[in-house]
A and B are shown apart, each in its own frame.
Chain A
Amino acid sequence: EAGVAQSPRYKIIEKRQSVAFWCNPISGHATLYWYQQILGQGPKLLIQFQNNGVVDDSQLPKDRFSAERLKGVDSTLKIQPAKLEDSAVYLCASSLQNSPLHFGNGTRLTVT
């Protein structure tokens, strides 16, 4: 089966600019996650979708981060405006109910 697809693979922006990441989960996976992995740390959950509804966005900095999953398939994560501390790898994952997560290769964001 095809894995979780993410794009772009790398992105470099200046602070205060905006950026968007895209994720296409594994077909049939109702649950989709966005994680932020800062260098040297474990992945931190930003937002979790069940189909097109938000299950958990308690750790999403909502003043600058937003995410949507229209039609319950693809998802986009946006940062506007970006800060230096947003430099990280942004991981998308998908899963079936009560099943392990399947991760994409991530988008490495560098904010200068």
Chain B
Amino acid sequence: AQSVTQLDSQVPVFEEAPVELRCNYSSSVSVYLFWYVQYPNQGLQLLLKYLSGSTLVESINGFEAEFNKSQTSFHLRKPSVHISDTAEYFCAVSDNNDMRFGAGTRLTVKP
């Protein structure tokens, strides 16, 4: 079965600074990759996904992630964060049978 490792449990950054949340996965088959976001006191929401095609995928609020097959990574980046980006971010991998989540990275954006 596939697995996901999120290397940083907490990432504190100042507003307008760039950020990268790291995600590595392991799987013996082709996978689909996702980032979900959980804002305080809210449910999980899909942020972006890689299913096929271009390895660089973007969300509507400025985040992007790049699928790197050789490094088995799917790191999430944003060039300039806002206070409102404070949330828990989960990387997830699916091999077409089930979806497994990483432990999460808590992004805290400080003024």
Contact = CB atoms under 8 A, between A and B. Distances in A.
Interface of A: 33, 35, 40-45, 48, 55-56, 91, 93, 98, 100-106
9 contacts: A40-B104, A42-B104, A43-B44, A44-B101, A91-B43, A98-B51, A98-B96, A102-B46, A103-B44
B49 interface: yes
Contacts of B99: 33, 45, 101
Label chain B's interface by main secondary structure: strand
Given A98-B96, A103-B44, 12 more contacts: A35-B101, A42-B6, A48-B98, A56-B97, A56-B98, A98-B32, A101-B44, A102-B46, A103-B43, A103-B45, A104-B43, A105-B42
Interface residues of B, number: 22
A76 B96 CA distance: 24
B74 interface: no
A40 B4 CA distance: 16
Interface of B: 4, 6, 32, 34, 36, 42-46, 49, 51, 90, 96-104
A23 B103 CA distance: 24
Residue picked from A41, A103, A104, most chain B C-beta under 10 Å: A103
Contacts of B90: 42-43
Given A42-B90, A43-B90, A100 B102 contact: no
B10 to A, nearest CB: 10
Nearest to B48: A100
Contacts of B4: 42
A55 B98 contact: yes
